[in-house]
Amino acid sequence: MTATRRFLPGWLSSYATLYILFLYLPVIFLPIFSINTAATPKFPLSGVTLHWYEDLPKTPALIDATWNSLIVGVSASILSTVLGILAARSITRYRYPGRRAINGLIMAPLVLPEVIVAISMLLVMLQLGLSLSLLTVVLGHVLVCIPYSMTVLTSGFEGFDRSLEEASADLGESAFGTFRRVTLPMVAPAIISSLLVCFTISLDEFIIAFFLTGTEATLPIYIWGQLRFAAKLPGVLALGTLLLFASFVLMTIAEILRRRAARRTQNEGGLYA
Amino acid sequence: MLERVQSERIQSDRTMIDIRDVTRSYGSFKALDNASLAIREGEFFSLLGPSGCGKTTLLRMIAGFDTPTSGLIAVDGQPMDGIPANRRPTNMVFQSYAIFPHLNVEQNVAYGLKRLKLAAGEEKRRVEEALAQVSLTGLGKRRATELSGGQRQRVALARALVMRPKVLLLDEPLSALDKKLRGQMQVELRRLQQAVGITFVLVTHDQYEALAMSDRIAVMFGGRIAQVASPKEIYQRPVNRQVADFLGGMNFVKAEIVEENGASLLLDTLGFGRVRTDKPKAFVRNGGAATLGIRPERLRVLWDNASAKFEVAGKVVERHYFGEITHLIVEIPGLEKPLSVTETNDFGADDIPVGAPIRLAYDPEALVAMAD
């Protein structure tokens, strides 16, 4: 054991470096080529420019796609968070037969092949007589967002000491007042975190949007469409860089909030006693 | 200080909490079975019993978190049925303390006052006063997460007391504290109760806690109230073996009832011969047999040639050392179970060899008769 340990550190750290490199190299290429003056993504760079970024707001189709993505993202995140709150509250607060099974079923879309989910959703929508529009995209996104929303919310709700709500009632507060003054502030970080996670997922989601969208494209669909024209590639790279950056920031904030929520609800009792 | 804590206090005889024939059933299981109790105004009252005896259920029904299946609970003459927890003149200190983690100490204490819409200065004054009562002055701005266990408990106390309730309910408030802090808080809680004069109802499974703090104790088993009395009476005159056993060590000796009259019993026992004892108030004869009890510390070792009017002789079979006391197990001819004796170590009880003959003195006053 000690012998292997002596040999391994060098190997392990180079392995770890390669691992990270492999994960993030493609991501690093994106911003690099997005500031290249030439339209073809090739080293060495022919020059540095922000030209491609400046062009973005001048493309009406892109502006439309951005608006569509925002509308879908906001609606999907609110809807899935509301549904997630109800489900997470029931799963963390009450004990009833089938609780685990229900939890499993809600989490399942996470591991289903997305193409299959998208095709089935398309079939259902058509059967229901819904014409494809942003609404159908929102419904599709709610389905894929709920597992993420549940994960974030259950970690925030878990360990919520029920006696906190009783203490509030005991001190004279009404049921609604208790919700407003105790329950909500305590789980607010988890709720905001869930909203951000769902928004980010919806913003980046392609397959379901591709199947369920009508004539209105979301950003990933717009990007997909642009890829047919070689000359548009730098613009796509610039847009991709911005999306990447926005997702990264949103997910970071979401994770910070999720941890804060988990800390809040779980620090009752022994830890600080 | 200690004298003040232990001194007798003027108490009114007015009933503050009236519990009448209260039953709480969960299906066929009765968590509380036809309990009746009158808790007096200004009293420090303890509900004592093992877990599952119904003491917490009773406390939660007084607070309004649970509803009796049948029976009546009245606080200060007002029936409580249909009145929700947030409109009862009671406040509670929770076992987990339930300090709001998103608020600081001051905001926690002021939580209930916010609804009363007091003048700004008045609210601040009452919060300060409550913090002073529990020795937390100056910690108002601390976050709830920065407090020690003892401080959290004080915040919970201040938060309840600031509401000036008619009754303060305490659900195992000391169980999360370490032994030393627990002893200190017992004294402080008692002192606080005397200072504010509010009726305290404490739930505990720790007999020493109940004995040290209460004016009166109700001992509960299996959803029923077994005995209600002062700590001294509960300890010295338990009504049955279960109560005696729960309140600390007790030697049980089989006895035959020879004669029974209004106030006393004449009993025949094997080791202690024929003894006359007070008849317990709740004594209900069950055939001719009864049990005689004596606490281990009421048996004293007789040294050398010393003699006593009442004594039993036997042989030491086990010896256990506990620092300030030694625990001896003594076999007495004729007794089916050996007697347990605790003796202080001042005279060398810790050196008595196992197997040595020994004589034990007792005061017949210390013998207590219990129904079988």
**Same domain flag for B76 and B119:** yes
In a domain, A252, yes or no: yes
The last residue of one of the domains, among B175, B208, B236, is: B236
In a domain, A32, yes or no: no
Q: What is the CATH number of the domain that holds A257?
A: 1.10.3720.10
pLDDT in tens, B13-39: 899 999 999 999 998 999 999 999 999
pLDDT at residue B246, rounded to an integer: 93
For residue A185, the distance in angstroms to the closest alpha carbon of chain B comes to 7
Contacts of B357 (CB under 8 A, 6+ apart): B313, B314, B315
Name the residue of chain B whose CA is nearest to A189's CA.
Answer: B102
**Same domain flag for B230 and B253:** no
Cα B175 from Cα B56, distance rounded (Å): 14
In a domain, B241, yes or no: no
Among A1-10, A181-190, A244-253, B272-281, whose mean pLDDT is lowest? A1-10
Average pLDDT score over residue span A38-54: 77
pLDDT at residue A81, rounded to an integer: 95
In a domain, B66, yes or no: yes
Calculate the alpha carbon distances from B155 to B100, B127, B174, B328 in Å. Answer: 10, 11, 13, 44
Q: What confidence tier does A270 reach under pLDDT thresholds 50, 70, 90? A: very low
Residues of A whose CB is below 8 A from B145: 267, 272
pLDDT at residue A43, rounded to an integer: 76
pLDDT in tens, B39-74: 999 999 999 999 989 999 999 999 999 999 999 999
**Same domain flag for B225 and B275:** no
B164 versus A235: the higher-pLDDT residue is B164
Supply the mean pLDDT for chain B: 90
Domain extent, residue B355, equals: 249-371
**Same domain flag for B254 and B231:** no
pLDDT at residue A62, rounded to an integer: 85
- pLDDT reading at B115 higher than 70: yes
Average pLDDT score over residue span A55-64: 84
Q: What confidence tier does A5 reach under pLDDT thresholds 50, 70, 90? A: low
Average pLDDT score over residue span A9-26: 87
pLDDT at residue B11, rounded to an integer: 59
Residues of A whose CB is below 8 A from B116: 172
Cα B76 from Cα B227, distance rounded (Å): 23
A47 versus A32: the higher-pLDDT residue is A32
In a domain, B38, yes or no: yes
Average pLDDT score over residue span A184-200: 89
Does the beta carbon of B78 lie under 8 angstroms from any beta carbon of chain A?
no
pLDDT in tens, B290-323: 889 999 999 999 988 888 888 899 999 999 999 9
- pLDDT reading at B8 higher than 70: no
Give the total number of structural domains in chain A.
1
**Same domain flag for B38 and B174:** yes
Average pLDDT score over residue span B174-200: 90
DSSP B248: S
- pLDDT reading at A253 higher than 60: yes
pLDDT at residue B155, rounded to an integer: 95
ipTM above 0.90, yes or no: no
Name the residue of chain B whose CA is nearest to A185's CA.
Answer: B102
**Same domain flag for B229 and B288:** no
**Same domain flag for B287 and B159:** no
Name the residue of chain A whose CA is nearest to B65's CA.
Answer: A166
The last residue of one of the domains, among B188, B215, B236, is: B236
- pLDDT reading at B5 higher than 50: no
Please give the model's pTM, rounded to 2 decimal places: 0.77
In a domain, A10, yes or no: no
- pLDDT reading at A96 higher than 90: no
Domain extent, residue A194, equals: 60-161+187-266
In a domain, A85, yes or no: yes
Q: How many residues does chain B have?
A: 372
Does the beta carbon of A131 lie under 8 angstroms from any beta carbon of chain B?
no
Supply the mean pLDDT for chain A: 85
In a domain, A175, yes or no: no
For residue B324, the distance in angstroms to the closest alpha carbon of chain A comes to 30
In a domain, A19, yes or no: no
The last residue of one of the domains, among B236, B267, B298, is: B236
- pLDDT reading at B86 higher than 90: yes
**Same domain flag for B72 and B195:** yes
**Same domain flag for B193 and B274:** no
For residue A187, the distance in angstroms to the closest alpha carbon of chain B comes to 10
For residue B204, the distance in angstroms to the closest alpha carbon of chain A comes to 18
- Mutation target among A160, A171, A187 for the B interface, most CBs of B within 10 A: A171
Q: What is the CATH number of the domain that holds B318?
A: 2.40.50.100
The shortest CB-CB distance from A264 to any of B101, B159, B176 is to B101
pLDDT at residue A266, rounded to an integer: 56
In a domain, B84, yes or no: yes
Residues of B whose CB is below 8 A from A173: 86, 111-112, 115
A85 versus A269: the higher-pLDDT residue is A85
**Same domain flag for B95 and B201:** yes
pLDDT at residue A8, rounded to an integer: 64
**Same domain flag for B21 and B138:** yes
In a domain, A75, yes or no: yes
pLDDT in tens, B233-276: 999 989 888 999 999 889 999 888 888 888 888 988 888 888 88
In a domain, A174, yes or no: no
Give the total number of structural domains in chain B.
2
**Same domain flag for B14 and B149:** yes
